[in-house]
Amino acid sequence: MNYIDLFAGAGGLSEGFLRAGFHDIAHIEMNPDAANTLKTRLAYWHLKRSNNLDIYYSYLHCEISRDELYSHIPDEVLAAVLNYEMSAKSVRGLFKRIDKRLECQAEEKRVNVIVGGPPCQAYSLVGRAKQKIKEDTLKKENPSADDERKYLYRVYCQFLRRYKPDMFVFENVPGLLSADNGKHWQDILKKLNSIGYEIDTKELNARDFGVPQDRKRIIIIGWSKGSQRCFPAFQSVEATWTVSDILSDLPPVKAGGQGVKYRRIEPHQFVNENLRTSDDILNWHVARPHIERDMEIYRLAIREWCYRNRHHRLRYQDIPEHLKTHKNTTDFADRFKVVAPDVPYCHTVLAHLSKDGHYFIHPDIKQARSITVREAARLQSFPDSYFFEGSRTSAFTQIGNAVPPLMAQRIAEALLVQLQGV
Half-sphere exposure of 139 (CA within 13 A, CB side): 10
Q: How many Å apart are CA 8 and CA 13, to the nearest integer?
A: 7
Q: For 73-82, 132-141, 387-396, which range has the lowest pLDDT when averaged over its residues?
A: 132-141
- Give the pLDDT mean for 241-256: 97
* E-assigned strand segments in 157-285: 167-172, 197-205, 216-224
- The one catalytic residue among 62, 104, 120, 157: 120
Q: What is the pLDDT of residues 268-327, one digit of tens each?
A: 999 999 999 999 999 999 999 999 999 999 999 999 988 876 788 888 888 988 988 877
Q: Which CATH number fits domain 2-234+403-420: 1.20.1440.230, 3.40.50.150, 3.40.50.1370, 3.40.50.300?
A: 3.40.50.150
Contacts of range 55-60, beta carbons closer than 8 Å, 24 or more positions apart = 56/385, 57/279, 57/281, 59/387, 60/281, 60/283, 60/387
Task: Reduce the DSSP state of residue 136 to 3 states and report it.
Answer: helix
Alpha helices (runs of H) in 223-268, residue ranges in sequence order = 243-247
Active site residue 120: yes
pLDDT at residue 224 is higher than 80: yes
* E-assigned strand segments in 259-361: none
Q: How confident is the model at residue 133 (pLDDT cuts 50, 70, 90)?
A: very low
Would you call 404 exposed, middle or buried from its count of C-beta atoms within 10 A (0-12, 13-18, 19+)?
buried
Q: Please state, rounded to an integer, the average pLDDT across all residues of the chain.
A: 91
Query: pTM of the predicted model, to two decimals?
Result: 0.92
pLDDT at residue 118 is higher than 90: no
Q: Are 388 and 399 in contact (CB under 8 A)?
A: yes
Report the relative pairing of strands 216-224 and 197-205 from DSSP bridges: antiparallel
Q: How many Å apart are CA 35 and CA 11, to the nearest integer?
A: 9
